[in-house]
Every structure is written in structure tokens, then in C-alpha cells.
Amino acid sequence: MFKAIGKVFGFLLLVLGIFLSIGHAVTSLTGGEKAAAGAVEISPEGGESVYWGKGRCFTCHSMGDRGSAVRGPNHGAFGDKFPLPMGARAVERAKERSAKTGQTYTATDYLVESLAAPGAHIVEGYKNEMAVVYAPPISLNLKEVKAVIAYLQSQGGDVNLDALEKNPSEISNKFFAKIAAAGAAGGGDPGAGEQVFASNCANCHTVKKGEGGGIGPGLAGIAAKGVKFVEDSILRPSKSITPGFETWSVTEKDGRKTVGLKTGESGTEVVITKATGDKVPIAKAEIKEMEQDKDSSVMPDNLNEAMTVKDLQDVLAYMMTLKAE
Amino acid sequence: MNKMFSSRFLAPRAALATAFFMLLGASAAWALEPNEYRQFLGLDSRKLVWFLAQVKLFFGSFVLGVPLFAVIIEYVGWKTGDAKYDKLSYEFTSLLSVAYATTAALGGLFAFALFGLYPTFMSYMNGIFYDVMFFYALLFFAETFTLYLYYYGWGWLSGREPLGKNALWVLRALGIVMLVVTVVFLFGGFGPKMRGDTRMFMALLYMLPVAGGLFIIRDRKSAHIFIGILLNVAGVAIMQAANSWAGFMMSPAGVDKEGVLTGTVWQAFENILATPIAIHRMLGNLAFGGLIAGAYAAVKFIGSKTDEERAHYDWMGYVSNVVAIAALIPLPFAGYYLGREVYSTSAVMGNNMMGGDFSWTFIIQAILVGSLFLISNYYLWTGMTRIPGAQRYYGYIKYILIALVLSFAVWLTPHNLPLSGAEVGQMGGSQYHPTLKFLGLMPAKNAVVNLIILATFFSFLLYRRGNKVDAVSIRAQGMTAKIVIALAGLAAVYLTGQYAVSLLTMKPADLDLSADRAPYFHVVGYLLLAHCAASVVAVVLALKDRGKFAQYMMLAVTAFNVTLFLGPYGFVVMEKASPFLRNVAVSQFMQLIACLILVSAIDVFLFRGAKEIGRLQWGKIPMRSQYALLLLAFIITMNMGLMGFIRSGLRGDWHIFGLMRDTSPWSFTPSNFTMTQMVGLSVLVFMVSISFMFWLGGLAAKGKQAHDGKDTEKPLADSAREVKNV
């Protein structure tokens, strides 16, 4: 039996040797460890390290013959489909964008928009599936996004650090503010957050200034209160109730109990709006007891069950874009 | 209880209990606190944990995989009254008993390492999964005690005297209640809100087996089988609990962005990837358990001194291999489902998997998976040399081999080639070969993986009929044959038909496609309907004693649809309606499974009781076949290590994806060479350890025989004489 075991382990070592040689050969061909990038400067070199590192741009894009991904457009000059490298191509794409929107886009604006709102102007033949690079798990900060743009500009175009750092255009500034807001919220996609808001919150809240007065307070300018406050308000709505939105509990003489916001009151009746939005007029003469519950909000306290972690991150990022006009 | 009992089971339980109290003692901490990392003897903590986790998983997979088929084999022995199956099942279980203690001890060591080296991360996980961890520890007691009863109660619960009528009535009543509860649960009648796959997983793997087990109990032996079922239920539950943590690390749920639990523990437990990982691991464990048991049989065969021993271990190796192939066939689809859910969780993670850091790791994986199928076929072909009359089918082998080799070549072709500048220039400035680049895309991969499975299945059919003179009349076999074949046909029609209906009624807008893309859905829908029609025709032909023709027709139609048609058509879909490609893959899977079900059902009756040219000559198989079995075990072990690397590595520089960053010095994706080094070392340590344990188990068995003064197991010669084609 020991002879048999000897043969078997000899065979095992042979197999493992082949396995190791395959691993070695593949690593020689494709490169070694993939470490995350450290802090970067806003420069083509800094952008290059983000592009091929932390930003993971290379998982979908190639740069000419460098890289192998085909899911997104190649950022170098590559075949008939991409005769111009990205820096030069951005100038042409900016012209198309200007014609389409009526606004004047520079090459920098186009690149900024491509990273901040990748679905805005999709290259023909590709899907709207680019990840939001300033949201988890990639979570690039504004500086890193700008560095990537500088790197892309360096591919056959003019690197315009002035437009990235000191004098950004109005278009670029708008997107930079969006990315910064998302960063302040701990990362998240404001675009997706707007949809989450529409599905979960818009029945009770509005985001336009001067609106509101529904079941929940208007949220125009809510970003000024800070992300912690907003997050607490979503997850623990009873913790801090906006004045005027306290919960009232009305018990009628026949025992019926109605809980909600007091949204109307006259000499003869009060109107309670329930969390469902139903308005319930109650004659004062029928009221046995009416009391305010300062410790409880009408807002559901189980929103966390309706939202994933990503939903919450996204909706917080969206809230942080709601600055006072 | 004897000494072996305490040493095997009690000591590791103490280690586990200690680790568990460490869990309970950990304080709650949240995801955004600064991470603390420690080292042991200056070693790379990540590599240390990687190694321990991998070796622990190898043992765990074996321990969870073996009882799955040991119970099935015992059941076959009980139903047929054939003692050799019972003996084989006992032999498998004895392997399990020696590996169990090490698995538990390794679990304790792994937990110590995690808590010691990654205290912040583990403290956080404990804060979230406190309840589940408690439950997990209790499940170990359930598994241990059912294993006690199952292994040590083998002789005690071997009687065939029927139980009393009253006891039977009670058991049947309990079985009915359990069955009703299962059905109600399956259709969402009770239980927390959960995904459909989780509900099905729990209903089919926990509740239904228990219900079925209650129904079969009629004597002591069947009660023993029921204990085996309970052992498996506990094992699967342990696996599901551990998978929920792995899934949570990839797709956290039930917590806010700071990691505070805002939902329920159930939400965190049932995260998006928990069940897809569990399904994949379940099948993987079964295949792994089968192949490791097969390797054990191969080593024993190589060292055998008598024909009787060779016959027995040849048969044991064959059964193990059949078990492994049965699990390997659906495994690629479970992998596809898991991959799809990874994409659904995060496109970044999905892209990194197939097109980023791990794209070349998948090429290595393709080499390993392709080798598994190729070598499994080779083993079956060499096995045909011990079947009198199988020479009639040798001619088919070269065609199967051609199909397999071509499919294998496509399966491992990368989309892009790592080329030098000069080589790129020679290819017209493109990194993509003008032809080969298509073979690297999913439509080509999906087409050939289906063909590989069909070819393997065809090899198995040839093996089964190797010594049969000719098919027997199905018409003459009574109602059972007709009902089973008709039901199999119905299942095949249902599988493909329901998906055809869903594709024909699917709205392009559901996939973010314009309305004019609908015809691409309809083509696949009509193809599925054609497959339904073929299934109906096959049933009719089989019932009219044209079973062989029915089988060949089903195989031909399926091969044409899933490979020749949907393979190239996948490229059209990719170009015109790319999001629909995943539906094409599902349609291929549905047709393949429908074909396997129907053709297998026909095959069972086609050769039932058929005249034989001669008896299988167990043991008369070339020695190289045993090295094929060993190679299969080595490859699946390496493949499991590689897949673990991918699954864990997908999180990139996150301990918990998107929630808790890995800020340790080891926060980078290791190279493929590092992966092969780590996996190779784990495989070597596992193989050496398990061989040592099997040897010890053998010593214990010999000692027991000597102590009892007789051979407590049935003589191998009896077994060797009894074995026949299974």
C-alpha cells in the first residue's frame, strides 16, 4: 500500500507542478498583483494610475492596444470604429453634444459629463451600463475623477487643468457639485437616488421650493442640514420631527381612533391626514380625546426594509444635491 | 462510548465551543470604525487566513458531500435488498467519520485566526450575525449527534422487522403533515419574506427530505436512513449559515451605509448572493465528495493484492464517479446563475469577474472544468473495457472525443490574446484575432458547454448499454414504464414550454429594448416549442418500442437547438438585443435538462432486464483508469480553491463590499501565480492530511476486526461477486 501511496503522491506533485506552471505563465502574460492606487494628483499620470487601478476603468475600456476589455468604447485610436484617441475624440463629441442640447460644451465638459452622468450621451452601439464611479464600490473622489479626465485628455488632446481646477465652466461646475455632494453623502448615485425617492418618498415629500404642505415636509434645500440629519430622518423618523408634522391621535366617542397629521381645523371639525394620504374629517363634537404624540412620526419607520444599502446611499446622495436655490 | 468516539468528536467540539465563546465575547463594532489588523509570527495575515479557510473548506465540503450520496446508496441497498450497497454506504460513512473531527478542529482554528488577525471585521460580523452564529453552533451539535447515531448505530438499526402498525400510522401522519407544511411553505404560506430561490432551497433540501423520510420508515433500517436524512439536513443548514456570511460580504443587506443593522437579521442572512452561493456549493460539495471518495477507491485499487479487492474498489470508484458526474452536469448552470446574480448585485463586481482582474483566472478555471469532463469521459471509456460486448460502441468514442476536444478548445479560448506589438501588427493592428475572438464570447462558451454535457451524457448511455444484447419492449413492461416515461415527457414539455410562453409574451421594454427587438425573443420561443414537440414525439416513439430512435432524436434535436442554432444565433442576439442573451442561455439550459430527464427515463426501461452478453468484470480495468480518478480528485480540489479565490477576490479592496474597506497592507488582488501557489499548497496539505486520516481509519477498522475476532464487514469477495452494472 505504501508503494501505491508513493505513486499517487508523485502523481499529485506532477499535477501541482503543471498547475503552478500555468499560473506562472498566465501571470507572465497578463501582469502581477493589482494594487489599489494611492493618493493622486490631478495630472495625466495620476489619472493613468486611477484608470488602470482603483477606478477599474480597464474592466470595460481599453486604451488602443493596451488592455483587453470591449464592454465600453475603446479610449485609444483603434480600428475603423475609433479613428481618434479620446482626447481628440472628445472635441468632436462635444460638438455633437452642443448641437443636441443647445448649450456650448467644451471637450472638458463632455468628458466631465461622461463620468458624472454617463447615460447622457451614449456612444452608438453601447449600452447605458457604466457604473457610477464616485459611488461605492469604486468611490472615486472628485480629485481622482478630475485626474482621469486629465489622462483621457492626454490621449491625443489638450490637457486643460485650468478648466478642471481653477476655472471650470458652468456645465462642468454643475457636475463637480454633484460628485462632491455624493462624496459628502458617503458615496452614492444621485441619479439612481432620484428614482428611489420617486418610488419611496415622493408620495409625501416634494423637492421644489415653495411646495410641500403634504404629509411630509418639503425637502428643498435639505442638503444644508447635513447628511447625518437626513439619514437619521429616513431611518429613525421619530427621532427629530419637523415642527408642524407631529403626529396626532384622535379618539372618538364610539372608540374609533385615527392617527396622523392635523392638516386642517375649523370651529366644528379637525382634519387628520393618515400616513396613507387619506384625509379624515372628524367633528369636534364626536371627539373624546385628542392628543399630540411628540415622540412618534407619521413617516414609516421601516423604510430600511424597502430600501437596500445602495438605495439608501443613492437617495442620500440625491438629498445632498438639494441645495437652497 | 469508546476512545475513538471521544477523540474523534469531543475534542474538536471543545475547540469549536471555545471559538464560539470568543464570538459571543466580541463587542459590537460598526463598519466605519478604523480597522485593526494583527499578525501571527510576522506572517502575512491574509495568506494565513486564506490557507486555513481553503483547507477547512476542503474538509467541510467532503464532510457535507459524502453523506448526501451515502444515504442515497444506503436507500438503494434497502430497497433492492442488495447488501453490497449497504456495505458501500458504510464504507463511505467511515471515511466521513475520520474526516469530521479534523473539519471541526480546523473550523475552530480558522475562527481563532479570523478573530485574532482581523478583530474589527470579525467583531462587526459578530455584531450583525450574533443570532445566526449561535444557531450555527447549535447546528454542529445536531450534525454531531445525528452522525453518532448514523455511524455507530449502523448495526443496531439494521433490522428489517416491520414496525408496529400504530407506529407506522403515526409516522405516515407526520409525513403527511410535513408534506403539507412543505407545500404551504413553498408557495409562500408562511415564513419571513424571502427570495424564491431561498424558499425553494429550504423547501426542497430541508422540509421535503424530512417528509419523504417519514414516509419511508417501516423498519429499523429505514429509520437509520431517516437519521441519515437528518444528518444531511443539519449539514446543509450549517453550509447555508456560513454561506450567508460569505454572501453578506459580497452583497450586504439589512444594514445602513455605516453598517448599522437597520433591518432584520433575516434580511442580512438572506442577502442577494447567499442562496446562489449555497446552490453552487451544494452541487460542488456533492461532486467533490464523490471524487475524493473515488480517489480513495483508486488508491485502494492501486494497492490491492487480490482480484476481490480490485473488483470491490473498482466498483466503489465507479459509483463515486457516477455521483460526481451527476453533480457536475448541473454545476456550470449553477455557476452561471451565481455569476448572473453577481452582475445583478454590482456591475463593477461582475465586470471585474469576467473582464477585469479575474478574466484570466477564468481561463485557468476553463482548463480545469474542461479537464474534469474530458477525464470523466475517459474513465467511462476505459471502464467499457471491462464490459463484454461494449466493443460494439467503441466506434462512437472517436466522435465523442472530437466533439469534446473541439468544445474544450472553444471553452478555453480567451477573447483577447496577450500579444506583443509586433504580433498585433501582424494581425492588422488588432489585439483580437479575426476568428478566434468570437470563440471567446459567451454565446460560443454557452454553446460548447452544453455540447460537452451532452457528449458526457452520451458516453454514459453507451456505458450503460455496453453488455446488453438489445433493448426490451417497453410496451410489454406494464403501466409503470408507461407512466414514468409519460411523466418524464410531461416534465420535459413543462420545462421548455413554460419558458417558451414567457419568451413569446415578454415585452422588450422589460429588458430596456425597443419594441422592434421582439422578433429576437420569438425565434427562441418557437425553437423551445419545437423542442416540446420533439419531446412529445419521443414519448410516443418510446411507448411504441422505438425507444432507441426516440433517444437519438431527442439528443440530435437538443444538440442542434442548443449548440448549432443557438450558438451562432447568440452572436446575432449579442449584436442586436444584447440584454436578451441571458435568456438565450436559460433556454439552452432548459432544453438540455429536459433532454436529460426524458432520455434517462427512456433508458431505464429500454434495458431493464435486457439479456446480457456477459457480466461486468469488475477489477479488470486498466490501471491508468485509476490515475484518471485520482486526477479528477486533484483537479476538482484545485478548481474549488481557484473558485474560492475568485469569489472572495471579487470584493476587491473591501472586506464587506461597499461598506467596510480593507485597509490592511494586503489589500490588493494577488496574481494568478500567487493564487496557484496558495491553492497548490492547500491542495497538497489537504491530500496529505486526508490520506493520513484514511490510513488511520483503516488501522482502526483492522484493530476492530482483530478485537472482534472476525471480519465484521462482509467479505470483499462476496461483494465483488455480487456487483453488477449499476
Residues A280 and A209 in one domain: no
Tell whether A230 and A122 lie within a shared domain: no
Specify whether A274 is located in the same domain as A168. Answer: no
What pLDDT is stored for residue A139 in this prediction? 77
Confidence (pTM): 0.74
Measured CA to CA, the distance from residue B13 to residue B26 in angstroms comes to 20
Q: Which of B479, B442, B258 is nearest to B340 (CA)?
A: B442
Residue B310 has pLDDT above 60, yes or no: yes
Q: Which residue has the cell 453533480?
A: B327
Q: Where do runs of H (alpha helix) occur along B153-195?
A: 165-186
Question: Are the Cβ atoms of A5 and B303 closer than 8 angstroms?
Answer: yes
- pLDDT band per the 50, 70, 90 thresholds, residue A212: low
The answer to whether position A38 is within a domain reads: no
Using a pLDDT cut of 90, give the percent of chain B over it: 48
The whole-angstrom separation of Cα B587 and Cα B447 is: 11
A24 found inside a domain: no
Helix (H), strand (E) counts: chain B: 27, 3
| Chain B environment of A14 (Cβ under 8 Å) | none
Structure confidence at residue A215 as a pLDDT band (50, 70, 90): confident
Q: How far is A134 from chain B (nearest CA, A)?
A: 12
Residue ranges per structural domain of chain B: 457-615
What's CA B604's distance to the chain center, in Å?
23
Q: How many residues does chain A have?
A: 325
For residues B135 and B241, is the Cβ–Cβ distance under 8 A? yes
Q: Which of B529, B519, B527 is nearest to B563 (CA)?
A: B527
Q: Which of A164, A184, A204 is the last residue of a domain?
A: A184
Between CA B257 and CA B265, with CA B263 as vertex, the angle to 5 degrees is: 110
- Does B29 have pLDDT greater than 60? no
- What pLDDT, on the 0 to 100 scale, is given for residue B2? 39
pLDDT band of residue B494 (cuts 50, 70, 90) is: very high
For the residues of B516-574, what is the DSSP string, one character each?
GGHHHHHHHHHHHHHHHHHHHHHHHHHHTT-HHHHHHHHHHHHHIIIIIIHHHHHHHHH
How much is the mean pLDDT over chain B? 85
Question: Is residue B630 within 8 angstroms of chain A, CB to CB?
Answer: yes
Partners of residue B346 in chain A, C-beta under 8 Å:
131, 137
**Angle at the Cα of A30 from the Cα atoms of B251 and A132, rounded to 5 degrees:** 35
Contact between B652 and A11 using a beta-carbon 8 Å cutoff? no
Nearest by CB to B347, from A9, A58, A131: name it. Answer: A131
Rounded to the nearest 10 degrees, the angle between the axes of helix B83-117 and helix B119-152 is 160
- Distances in Å between the Cα of B14 and the Cα atoms of B8, B108, B237, B693 are 11, 9, 21, 20
* Residues A268, A158 share a domain: no
Residue B429's pLDDT is 53
Residue A176 has pLDDT above 70, yes or no: yes
Return d(Cα B450, Cα B444) in angstroms, integer. Answer: 10
Helix, strand, coil percent content, chain B, rounded in steps of 5 = 75, 0, 20
Q: Does residue B30 register a pLDDT over 50?
A: no
pLDDT value for B284: 92
Q: Which residue has the higher pLDDT, B711 or B85?
A: B85
Is residue A144 over pLDDT 70? Answer: yes
Q: What per-residue string of b and e applies to B43-77 under the rule 16 or more CB within 10 Å gives b?
A: eebbebbbbbbbbbbbbbbbbbbbbbbbbbbbbbb
Predicted local confidence at residue B7, as pLDDT: 41
ipTM for the predicted complex comes to 0.79
Chain B residues lying within 8 Å of A131, measured CB to CB = 346-348, 351
- Taking CA atoms, B79 is separated from A23, B83, B162, in Å, by 48, 10, 14
- Asked if B705 reaches chain A (Cβ–Cβ under 8 Å), the answer is no
Please give the Cα distance from A12 to A9 (Å, whole number): 5
Asked if A69 and B635 come within 8 Å (Cβ–Cβ), the reply is no
Write the CB contacts of B131 (distance below 8 Å, at least 6 apart in sequence).
B265
pLDDT tops 60 at residue B554: yes
Same domain, A49 and A179: yes
Judged by a CB distance cut-off of 8 A, whether residue A27 touches chain B is yes
**For residue A266, pLDDT beyond 50:** yes
CB-based contacts of A217, cutoff 8 Å, min separation 6: A205, A242, A244, A245
Question: What does the pLDDT read at residue A68?
Answer: 66
Q: How far apart are CA B300 and CA B22, in angstroms?
A: 42
Q: What are phi and psi of B608, to 5 degrees?
A: -75, 120
Cα dihedral angle (A54, A55, A57, A63), rounded to 10 degrees?
-70
Residue B54: band (very low, low, confident or very high) from pLDDT cuts 50, 70, 90: very high
Whether omega for the bond prior to residue A137 falls within 30 degrees of 0, making it cis, is yes
Q: What is the Cβ-side half-sphere exposure of residue B140, based on CA atoms within 13 angstroms?
A: 24
Give the pLDDT band (50/70/90) at residue B525: very high
Residues of A whose CB is below 8 A from B627: 11
What pLDDT is attached to residue B5?
36
Whether B317 contacts chain A with CB within 8 A: no
Q: What share of chain A is helix, strand, coil (3-state, %, to 5)?
A: 45, 10, 45
- Using the CB atoms, write b or e for A171-181: b if 16+ within 10 Å: bbebbbbbbbb
- How many other C-beta atoms can be found within 10 angstroms of the C-beta atom of residue A285? 9
First to last CA, chain B: 37
pLDDT at A211: 62
Specify the pLDDT at position B713.
45
Question: What is the phi/psi pair of residue A270, to 5°?
Answer: -120, 155
User: How far B687 CA lies from chain A's nearest CA (Å)?
Assistant: 9
**Contacts A9 to B, Cβ<8 Å:** 687-688, 691
Instruction: Test B673 with A20 for CB contact under 8 angstroms.
Output: yes
Q: Which pLDDT does position A302 carry in this prediction?
A: 67
Chain A, 135 to 174: residues with Cβ < 8 Å from chain B are: 136-138
Q: Residue A57 pLDDT more than 90?
A: no
Coil, strand or helix: which one is A203? Answer: coil
Q: What is the 3 state secondary structure string of B316-378?
A: HHHHHHHHHHHHHCCHHHHHHHHHHHHHHHCHHHHHHHHHCCCHHHHHHHHHHHHHHHHHHHH
Pairing between β-strand A269-273 and β-strand A279-283 as defined by DSSP bridges: antiparallel
Scan for cell 452564529, then name that residue: B133
pLDDT of B8 higher than 70? no
What is the Cα–Cα distance from B574 to B584, expressed in whole angstroms? 10
pLDDT band at B661 (very low <50, low <70, confident <90, very high): confident
Q: Are residues A54 and A180 in the same domain?
A: yes
- The pLDDT, as a whole number, for residue B28 is 41
pLDDT band at A39 (very low <50, low <70, confident <90, very high): low
pLDDT of B367 strictly over 70: yes
The CATH number that applies at residue A311 is 1.10.760.10
Banded model confidence at residue A187, pLDDT cuts 50, 70, 90: low
Element (H, E) at A5: helix A2-30
Q: State residue A108 phi and psi, 5-degree precision.
A: -65, -45
Report the pLDDT averaged over residues B504-526: 88
* Cβ proximity of B663 and B31 under 8 Å: no
Residues 6 or more apart in contact with residue A70 via CB below 8 angstroms: A62, B355, B415, B416, B432
Cβ within 8 Å, pair B634-A12: yes
Average pLDDT over residues A78-107: 91
Tell me which residue has cell 475572438. B437
**pLDDT for A209 beyond 80:** no
Give the up-direction half-sphere exposure of residue B571: CA atoms within 13 A in the CB hemisphere: 14
Instruction: Using the predicted structure, report yes or no on whether residue A101 has a pLDDT greater than 70.
Output: yes
Task: Report how many domains make up chain A.
Answer: 3
State how far Cα B423 lies from the chain centre: 41
- Kindly give the pairing relationship between strand A34-35 and strand A257-265: unpaired
Spatial distance between the Cα atoms of B535 and B40, rounded to a whole number of angstroms: 61
Is the pLDDT score of B332 beyond 70? Answer: yes
Tell me, what's the pLDDT at B3? 39
Q: Which residues of B497-532 are buried (b: 16+ CB within 10 A; e: fewer)?
A: bebbeebeebebeebebeeebbebbebbbebbbbbb
Q: Using the 8-state DSSP alphabet, how is residue B473 labeled?
A: -
Per-residue pLDDT band at A185 (split at 50, 70, 90): low
Domain span at residue A276?
247-293
Going by pLDDT thresholds of 50, 70 and 90, the confidence category of residue A324 is low
Beta-carbon contacts of residue B224 (< 8 Å; ≥ 6 apart): B74, B150, B153, B154, B157, B158
- Fill in the amino acid letter for B397: I
Strand-pairing partners, residue A252, are A287
Domain end marker among A157, A184, A211? A184
> B274-302 vs B331-345: helix axis angle to the nearest 10?
150
- The pLDDT, as a whole number, for residue A255 is 84
Task: Give the least confident one: A101-110, B478-487, B712-721.
Answer: B712-721
Of the given ranges (A234-248, B21-35, B86-100, B144-158), which has the lowest mean pLDDT? B21-35
Distance from CA of B591 to the nearest CA of A (A): 29
Confidence class for position B262, pLDDT limits 50, 70, 90: confident
Residue found by looking up cell 502581477 in the block: A32
Q: Which pLDDT does position A314 carry in this prediction?
A: 75
Of A30, A62, A69, the CB nearest to B418: A30
Q: Are residues A50 and A175 in the same domain?
A: yes
In a domain, A2, yes or no: no
**Of B280, B221, B346, nearest in space to B657 by CA:** B346
Residue A4 lies in a domain: no
A61 & A140 share domain:
yes
Alpha carbon distance B633, B288 (integer Å): 7
Window 222-261 of A, Cβ < 8 Å to B: 231, 235
pLDDT tens-place string over residues B424-482: 566 555 555 666 767 777 888 889 989 999 999 999 999 988 888 887 888 888 888 99
- Number of Cβ within a 10 Å radius of residue B302: 21
Q: Is residue A26 part of a domain?
A: no
Give the lowest-confidence range in B145-154, B168-177, B699-708: B699-708
Chain A, chain B: beta-carbon pairs less than 8 Å apart: 178
Question: With contacts defined as CB-CB under 8 Å, which chain A residues touch B256?
Answer: 231, 235, 304, 309, 312
CATH of the domain at A283: 2.30.30.100
User: Quick one: cell of B127?
Assistant: 455584531
Residue A60 contacts B, CB cutoff 8 Å:
yes
pLDDT at B596 over 90: yes
Do A214 and A258 fall into the same domain? no
Which pLDDT value is given to residue B420? 55
**What pLDDT is attached to residue B653?**
79
Range from A32-41, A145-154, B642-651 carrying the lowest mean pLDDT? A32-41
Between the two ends of chain A, the Cα-to-Cα distance in Å is: 84
> A34 vs B355: CB contact, 8 Å cut-off?
no
**Residues of chain A contacting residue B257, judged by C-beta atoms under 8 Å apart:** 186-188, 231, 309, 312-313, 316
- Measured on CA atoms in the order B385, B387, B388, B393, is the torsion positive or negative? negative
Cβ-defined contact of B680 to A12 (cutoff 8 Å): no
A198 and A165 housed in the same domain: no
Is the same domain home to A132 and A259? no
The residue-averaged pLDDT of B187-195 equals 88
Answer whether A309 sits within 8 Å of B659, measured CB to CB.
yes
Cβ count within 10 A of residue B387: 25
pLDDT over 60 at B587, yes or no: yes
Is A16 close to B667, i.e. CB distance below 8 A? no
- pLDDT winner (highest mean) among B177-186, B345-354, B417-426: B177-186
Show which of A144, A160, A184 is a domain's final residue. Answer: A184
Q: Give contacts of B674 with chain A, Cβ < 8 Å.
A: 23, 27, 33
| Three-state SS at B621 | coil
Over its C-alpha atoms, chain B yields an Rg (Å, rounded) of 26
Portion of chain B with pLDDT greater than 70, in percent: 88
